[in-house]
Structure 1
């Protein structure tokens, strides 16, 4: 007999749809944890939340850009870029509304305890950031295309090379809470990776 939840959701049918996606996500996650893949997160035009206990980065640059989302909608963002970064206590979450079933959350955590996340050529397209930040060797008002300390302008960004930007030799951010539209990295090693799919809202903050 087929299991039925309140509201008529057929759990077995839902599982048939979800399990292959979760298995594929887990396989990708294992590869990422071993540093085997470049990483790119862009959830079909949805915001997602990212929190980090501590980020130590070198070769920092920041500039404005437009993200082109699914359907052609353009979103103004601030791009934070690092040539290399080490992160402690990383959490990334997205809530996806599923018709009839309700909200489904995907939460990824890594770099807890003695482990840390390592990234190279890291780009974060965000529209809100809260943190305690320390910048070393900072230059403010540098044209985005003239930055020589950071990794340059990301290929996927629609940015004016002559627009306002800033850069620094290194940066430390503590207690990071941000909402983002996209994250990409040349390499992204997620040590101590854990992923969880759950019903309802289960976010980083």
Structure 2
């Protein structure tokens, strides 16, 4: 870790955050109240995302849980996630992919790309619920160990997320610049999400972003 012009830079930044044991014990109550990280029931499949660069302003990151279904549609699945929230973000060379097994056809890959024609993807009030993240990262004016409910630099804990403890561990920064991003996620939510040069393709076989 090195100091860079008032910021903090990590080579190959990697994060996997999980909620506390007490939070895990409260899953049943939270499921009944619909009070988990994502504002919707997540699918039984993770998806992969890559980006050449993510330039986010006003960042907060904390641990929580997503709830949803398994691949058969049965409710009750829950997933520890690291929630990264940004007031605004620009993303270049974004790729998102998910692979589904279809009986009789085998693996089908749905791949979405955007922001690769000179105009980046633009998002406001975006939350990304990840199980893994690898990138080169530079943070400007970062605070590590802030109480999640007291974070003031980013958009705060996502509305309706009662699994993220207000006094739990979080980190925040005025700006986060991530390059060579490789991410596995369960959900993404945004107030606005503008995808320039959007392309969506279906391919036989596995053809993931990474």
The TM-score, its normalising length taken from structure 2, stands at 0.76
C-alpha distance 185-42 of structure 1, shift in aligned 2 (>3 A): farther
Q: Deviations over 1:67-112 (max 9, x none)?
A: 0021121110101110000010000000011122211111000000
Counterpart selection for 1:203 from 193, 197, 208? 208
Counterpart selection for 1:134 from 121, 132, 138? 138
Provide the residue aligned with 2:150 in structure 1.
146
Name the structure with the higher helix share.
Answer: 1
Structure 2 unmatched runs, 5+:
1-38, 70-74
Q: Hey, what's the Cα distance between the residues in 2 that align with 1:156 and 1:201?
A: 35
Counterpart selection for 2:173 from 154, 168, 175? 168
Q: Hey, what's the Cα distance between the residues in 2 that align with 1:80 and 1:190?
A: 19
Kindly report structure 1 stretches of 4+ aligned residues shifted beyond 2 Å: 40-43, 155-158
CA RMSD of aligned residues (A): 1.6
Structure 1 unmatched runs, 5+:
1-39
Q: Which secondary structure state, in structure 2, belongs to the residue aligned with residue 72 of structure 1?
A: strand
Residue 96, structure 1, aligned to residue 95, structure 2: no
Indicate if the aligned counterparts of 1:42 and 1:181 stay in contact, CA closer than 8 A: no
Equivalence map 1:14-33=2 (5 Å): none
Q: Deviations over 1:134-188 (max 9, x none)?
A: 0001011111111111111113543111110010000100000010111111000
Equivalence map 1:1-205=2 (5 Å): 44-70=43-69, 71-155=75-159, 157=161, 158-205=163-210
Indicate if the aligned counterparts of 1:55 and 1:174 stay in contact, CA closer than 8 A: yes
Count of matched residue positions in the alignment of Structure 1 and Structure 2? 166
Indicate if the aligned counterparts of 2:56 and 2:86 stay in contact, CA closer than 8 A: yes
Q: Which secondary structure state, in structure 2, belongs to the residue aligned with residue 154 of structure 1?
A: coil
Report the CA distance between 1:43 and its aligned residue: 5.8
Q: Hey, what's the Cα distance between the residues in 1 that align with 2:59 and 2:50?
A: 18
Name the structure with the higher strand share.
Answer: 2
